[in-house]
Structure 1
Amino acid sequence: MAVITTTRRTERFSRTTPPTCKYWLAGRCNRNPCKFLHSLSTLPSNVHNANMTYMHSKNPHLSAEKMASSSVKKPTNCAPKAFKKPANCARKAVECGSEAMSVEKPTQCEQMDISIEKTESVEEVATVAKSPMEKSRSICKYWMTDNCVHGDLCQNLHSWFYGDGFTTLAKLHEHKKVVTGIALPAGSDKLYSGSTDGTVRAWDCNTGHCVNMIHLNSEVTSLISEGPWIFAGVKNAVKAWNIQTGADVTLDGPKGQVLSLNVGNDILLAGAEDGVIYAWRYSSDPKPESPFELVATLSGHTKPVVCLAIGCYKMLYSGSMDHSIKVWDLDTLQCTMTLNGHTDVVTSLICWGDYLLSSSYDCTVNVWVRTEEGTLKVAYTHTDENAILGLYGMTDAEAKPILFCSCKDKSVRMYELPTFLERGRLFTRREVRSFEIGPGGLFFTGDGTGLLNVWRWLEEPKVPTS
């Protein structure tokens, strides 16, 4: 767009109606009297090109020669920033005060006003100036440490979540390291959590207090419950204990850390660091030794097995650091196919109806469907800007399916399915590594700081305040 640099054309424009005050348009002008219009002026009749670029000065007596020469000056640092975020410079101008706006020693924001600005029309300036600045969808890192000085004017969030229809109930912070598993046994009034600090804690669901702590002398990297049994994956073993009888059992066999656990077809399955899935069958017959018998080892992955899922046509699905997903028949425990839809570590798998959902460090979520030939193919891929660490699913108070995606940027994104429209976000100081669904709309998240958060869906979604 051409810049006006001739003195004659500039003088002709300077003798017409002075320009409208930008700060008045934004509702922020604090000068009385102001040398600019506090109304929407019309363009002079001798100006025919609405797309032309104009200059104006805070000082109406500034000579035309100086105005013309200012058009070829090197732009100040504030000018390009103001072009990208005009509201920020407007706020700085208010903070400068009347003394800072002197002609003798103009501030950077004052110099910005002398520089060239491009608009389609005066009406467009009014629209841009009055439009509210959209809040960022990132949590303020200074607010997290109680050091933010902007208060309500801060463009980042001063909240641990945003969205409607849910709220936070409690924060349980006793673990010293990452919470890697959460279990809520059926019929129990206790919530169990495992951590890499080497402990499993039991929490009273009524008071929120830790009522018991089990030291395992090894990092707990996975935790689940099935019936009265609780299983914890540790190095070279799975620890199991019965909360009704008090029985305590150690299941040996795995090599390295047990990273994932699941139960299906009355079989306990454990994905280990050596790339093998170990399978134990439970026997109700009373025996002097363990009630669990190792019945198979499922080999096929070349790197650690990170996640396990059961469902979708009675199959077992395993995700690995070798970037692949393997499908196993639960009756024969044989691998039936290998899925190669990711280019990095497969971090999580969930079965939802007839769909398999997988996430990866490659920043994608794949939705797999069964074909007529009996194979699985990717029907849809959702891409995020961050690596995805985990997938969790539940329904909200209105029975809408909600997918939770724990991301590398220390947030959990909430998407409505099947549209993947974002519903809200949860924020933590460190990445969320575990998730569990409770009764009555409750759900739980555990993060890298050792914090266990308790959340609840509201019966009716919140109405945003104006």
Structure 2
Amino acid sequence: MYMDTHDGPSSSFQQRGRGGRNNSSRGGWNNQSGYQGGRNSNRGGGRSNYNQYDNVHPPARGRFDDNRYNDGGDRYSNGSGFGGNPRGGYRGSGRQQPRGRGSWGNSNRGGRTGNYRGGARGGRPPQRHTYDQPSDIEFVAALKGHTGTVTAMAYDSSSSQLYTGSKDETVRLWDCKARGNCLSVVQVGGQVDSLLLEAGYLFVGIRVQGIAGQPVQGLIKVYNLKTGAQHDLAGHQEEIFALAAANGLLLSGGKDMTIRVWQHDVASDTFQPSVAITAAQGGHQAPVQALLPFGPCLVSADWAGAIKLWDMTSGQCMQTIQQAHREPIMRLLQWENVLISCSLDSSIKVWQPVESPTPGAVIDIAPVYVQPPEEAGKAAENWGGVLSISGALDAAQKPLLMASYNDDGCVRLYDLPTFAERGHLPAMRDARALAAAPGDILAAGDNHGTVKLWRWRAAPMPLN
């Protein structure tokens, strides 16, 4: 029985009935009939629906620039722009070589080094009431105005402005140069479940409650930030959890278990429906929570813990990892040439592409690293579910990962690739939305409607 609480993965969520074994799809994005039925034997289910999940979505996706992290830069990537080649870990046409296994984890903290898991067990320290904020980070401001859970963020590095979406049915625009002054508030007509800022457009995924017995509808509101024009994209039922853009296409995924593809019509400057990939057509058999352009592929992840990789040109399903995580996958991130996923099963996993990708084998089905580190013969630690992750670069351009956990009182910072703890952004419980700009702003929004900003202090000048 699937009890719908309209608030993310429910503890009573069960997988849908199985279809045929997933096969490579035939035809391109515009040929729905070519998709074959898929099999998903993954275990569904999340923990407490109230605490573990609250419609967490992809992090901010800024407009393109040459920064090393801007959700499309060459270090971190959570999306690609309209037209041209995807800008991310696979920059240009050449595939980067896989990162060596031995570089992930820190053996002194129980990390995985090569095939050896050594050292004292590391990972997250016990819960405590105070958290150490790194000395090279300063608190900027607490932005108050939302009256519901902050579910999504999008940071525009070019203007230092932050868009935030909430269950209070508004999108707010904040000026981060002026300590977070609110510049505008837009009533969007439904709870906000996802945001995407890309190539001069703001896409807002909302859930509109049906009237007089009508079904819930998922809408994508498209705002042209240059002209002020706005139009809606209808097609999804219920929440739209994930938005992404690549190769001139807008992609969306949601609670109705479908991935939808929208094409931009230049003449009308609107987006038009192209393809809807359902469970019956080889797609997901659980709600789609995350989408990520990954080199020539689109990666999608769902509440049953499954990851799928799709060829962006043909629309074929290249690979399915049926039980990548034991519980709902919340977020996907690309760092350099690896894929990072997080889940309500309390783990963050790092996945590496195979050296010679073929249909059915694009990434290695065994993660190159798992946080917290695994130890043979020992039960896993009872960590809280991972609600969100986001990439960042500090003032010295060193990479790190922001991560928020259920029932935790902070946002945790990990150095990459060691996963050594860097410190914490304190007084943020159950942060559902995270965003960062290279060497600049760090932002987090929680389930009380509060958004907080931190800033990296300037890196000291090297001594000659």
Deviation at 1:138, TM superposition (A): 4.4
Specify the SS of the correspondent of 2:348. Answer: strand
TM-score by length of 1: 0.62
The aligned residue for residue 294 of structure 1 is 273
Deviation at 1:352, TM superposition (A): 1.0
The aligned residue for residue 450 of structure 1 is 449
Specify the SS of the correspondent of 1:221. Answer: strand
Deviation at 1:454, TM superposition (A): 1.1
The aligned residue for residue 187 of structure 2 is 215
Identity %: 32
Cα distance in structure 2, aligned partners of 1:458 and 1:360: 31
One of 234, 243, 251 as aligned partner of 2:233: 251
Deviation at 1:188, TM superposition (A): 3.7
Verify the 8 A CA contact 1:186 1:228 in the aligned structure 2. no
The answer on 1:343 being equivalent to 2:326 is yes
1:239-282 per-residue CA deviation (whole Å, 9 max, x = no partner) reads 11112211011011111110111111121111111111111111
| Equivalences for residues 51-62 of structure 1 within 5 A | none
Deviation at 1:205, TM superposition (A): 3.3
Cα distance in structure 2, aligned partners of 1:139 and 1:170: 23
The aligned residue for residue 203 of structure 1 is 174
Name which one, 1 or 2, has greater alpha-carbon Rg.
1
1:295-322 per-residue CA deviation (whole Å, 9 max, x = no partner) reads 11123111111111112x3211111001
Q: How many pairs does the alignment contain?
A: 304
Cα distance in structure 1, aligned partners of 2:204 and 2:427: 24
Q: Which amino acid aligns with 1:414?
A: L
Cα distance in structure 2, aligned partners of 1:398 and 1:298: 43
Higher helix content, 1 or 2: 1
Verify the 8 A CA contact 1:412 1:426 in the aligned structure 2. yes
Verify the 8 A CA contact 1:185 1:226 in the aligned structure 2. no
The aligned residue for residue 161 of structure 2 is 190
1:423-463 per-residue CA deviation (whole Å, 9 max, x = no partner) reads 011233531111222365112111111111111112238xx
The aligned residue for residue 315 of structure 1 is 297
Deviation at 1:347, TM superposition (A): 0.9
**For the structure 1 residues 317 and 293, does the alpha-carbon distance in structure 2 shift closer, same or farther, using more than 3 Å as the test?**
same
Q: Which amino acid aligns with 1:257?
A: E
| Equivalences for residues 44-193 of structure 1 within 5 A | 138-140=127-129, 157=130, 161-185=132-156, 187-188=158-159, 190-193=161-164
1:140-173 per-residue CA deviation (whole Å, 9 max, x = no partner) reads 3xxxxxxxxxxxxxxxx2x6x5223212111101
The answer on 1:397 being equivalent to 2:395 is yes
Cα distance in structure 1, aligned partners of 2:133 and 2:435: 20
**For the structure 1 residues 222 and 428, does the alpha-carbon distance in structure 2 shift closer, same or farther, using more than 3 Å as the test?**
farther
Gaps of 5+ in 2: 1-124, 208-217, 373-380
One of 385, 388, 394 as aligned partner of 1:387: 385
Cα distance in structure 2, aligned partners of 1:323 and 1:221: 20
Deviation at 1:391, TM superposition (A): 1.4
The aligned residue for residue 260 of structure 2 is 278
Deviation at 1:392, TM superposition (A): 0.8
Deviation at 1:187, TM superposition (A): 4.1
Cα distance in structure 2, aligned partners of 1:190 and 1:416: 26
Q: Which amino acid aligns with 1:210?
A: C
One of 257, 263, 266 as aligned partner of 2:245: 263
Verify the 8 A CA contact 1:185 1:228 in the aligned structure 2. no
Verify the 8 A CA contact 2:397 2:439 in the aligned structure 1. no
Cα distance in structure 2, aligned partners of 1:137 and 1:166: 23
Verify the 8 A CA contact 1:283 1:292 in the aligned structure 2. yes
Gaps of 5+ in 1: 1-135, 141-156, 462-466
The aligned residue for residue 433 of structure 2 is 434
Which range moves more in the overlay, 296-305 or 172-181?
296-305
Which range moves more in the overlay, 204-213 or 389-398?
204-213
1:64-112 per-residue CA deviation (whole Å, 9 max, x = no partner) reads xxxxxxxxxxxxxxxxxxxxxxxxxxxxxxxxxxxxxxxxxxxxxxxxx
Specify the SS of the correspondent of 2:177. Answer: coil
Q: Which amino acid aligns with 2:431?
A: V
Q: Which amino acid aligns with 1:356?
A: L
**Structure number with higher relative contact order (C-alpha < 8 Å, ≥ 6 residues apart):** 2
